[in-house]
Amino acid sequence: MTRTLVLGGTRSGKSIYAEKLAMASDKEVIYIATAQAGDAEMTARIARHRQQRNHAWITVEEPLALGTVIAKWSRPDRLILVDCLTIWLSNLLFIQEQAFPDVGEIIPPACFSEQRECFLYALKNAVGDVILVSNEIGMGVVPQGAISRWFVDEAGCLNQAVAASCERTVWVAAGLPLLLKG
């Protein structure tokens, strides 16, 4: 069993790289998609991803309960591919508009910590291979707004926790993978 984190920026080639790893495994692939269609552009993006994805794979769409889905589908003869952790994180953090009652005051939804811990537990205890795709977003200018800084901080903490649980971590830039761990 191998857990692999594939990190990179937007349009870096990280998803394509993760999908190539999954295809090379010769295992049954369970593709867990975390995106939700909140507008026309995202609806089109999801449709494009569905069309491009390997049709032999089983696709599970889960925007929130990622740990539960990993635990349910994990088997030694399977590979789970999660795309992507930063979309999942934004789903959790912004699940309720009332999460930000006043400017400058950040109150995460009650389910955030619970879902994060459930996910990290499921990842640690998965009995099959797992590949996780995530954006590395904290390499630029520090965001000006409190909500944006909060999201960048939470994404960085999540990526660190996931990388610590993975045997392999790969950075992808311009479509080129660089092995960071493993």
CATH number of the domain residue 85 falls in: 3.40.50.300
Q: Both tokens of residue 5?
A: 């984190």
- Name the residues annotated as catalytic: 49
Q: Three-state SS string across the chain, please? A: CCEEEEEECCCCCHHHHHHHHHHHCCCEEEEEECCCCCCHHHHHHHHHHHHHCCCCCEEEECCCCHHHHHHHHCCCCEEEEEECHHHHHHHHHCCCHHHCCCCCCCCCCCHHHHHHHHHHHHHHHCCCEEEEEEECCCCCCCCCCHHHHHHHHHHHHHHHHHHHHCCEEEEEECCEEEEEEC
Q: In this model, does residue 105 exceed pLDDT 60?
A: no
Per-residue confidence (pLDDT) for residue 98, from 0 to 100? 43
Q: In this model, does residue 8 exceed pLDDT 80?
A: yes
Per-residue confidence (pLDDT) for residue 135, from 0 to 100? 96
56-67 tens-digit pLDDT: 999 999 999 999
Range of the domain at 60: 3-181
Angle between helices 111-125 and 146-165 (to 10 degrees): 20
The mean pLDDT of 83-101, rounded to a whole number, is: 77
The total number of structural domains that make up the chain = 1
When pLDDT is cut at 50, 70 and 90, the band that residue 102 belongs to is very low
Per-residue confidence (pLDDT) for residue 96, from 0 to 100? 52
71-90 tens-digit pLDDT: 999 999 999 999 999 999 99
Q: Model pTM?
A: 0.90
